[in-house]
Amino acid sequence: MMTGVVLRWVAVGLWGIGLLAGCAAPPPPPSAATLDMLTVPKPQGPRAQAMTHYALAQAYLERDQPYIALEEIRRALEADPRFPQAYSLLGLVHLRNQATGLAQESFNRALDMATQPPLSGDDLGQVQHHLGWSQCQQGQYAQGQTQLVRALSQPGFTQAAEAWIALGDCQKMAGQQTQARNSWLQALRLAPQHPGVRARLDSAQAK
């Protein structure tokens, strides 16, 4: 009789130990399918894809590689044919390649797209920024400065520091040294670590 009671208590104890062990056990590892879902990046929408190629195009153009920039712009427009910023950057590439007629067509198309609903202050600001800088490069300083100021007035414009730099450069080309320095100071307030701004201000101070 005692033996049976002991066995029952042993069985209950073993069941309890097994239950606790089950509670403390780590969760099973994720399946291969779950891991694949976690490691594969989420697909981007058309505008996000276009923005990625647009950023690359800007970088290549800044490095004086207009033909590679042109390829990235083409990819941006394949992703989103209604992306006005890409057309305005295309205008700068055409201008770099001495194709002023094509540049103006690109800027006109960009402005038309950027002023259609739904309106985006960043889109319009970027277009005005590029258009203004292109006009400054062609010696149309007053028109270029007007466009750059318009860009800076757009709500949500994300390239304000770069636009202030461009405005300062345009003012310098026009012989407006004091205004140029003030514009670069505005850029420095927005981007204190920007090496280009420091270099411009140091050069102006040396003179």
- Residues 39, 34: Cα–Cα separation, whole Å: 9
141: nearest Cα among 117, 166, 119, 104: 166
Please write the tens of the pLDDT for every residue from 58-87: 999 999 999 999 999 999 999 999 999 999
CA angle 177, 126, 175 (to 5 degrees): 15
What is the structure's pLDDT at 43?
A: 52
> What domains are defined for the chain?
46-158 (1.25.40.10), 160-207 (no CATH)
- The whole-number pLDDT of residue 28 equals 53
Return mean pLDDT, the chain. 84
Q: What's the pTM?
A: 0.74
CB 43 within 8 A of CB 70: no
The pLDDT of residue 81 is: 95
Q: In whole angstroms, what is the distance from residue 56 CA to residue 191 CA?
A: 20
Note the pLDDT of residue 35: 45
Residues of the chain with pLDDT under 50: 1-27, 30, 33-38
Res 203: pLDDT: 86
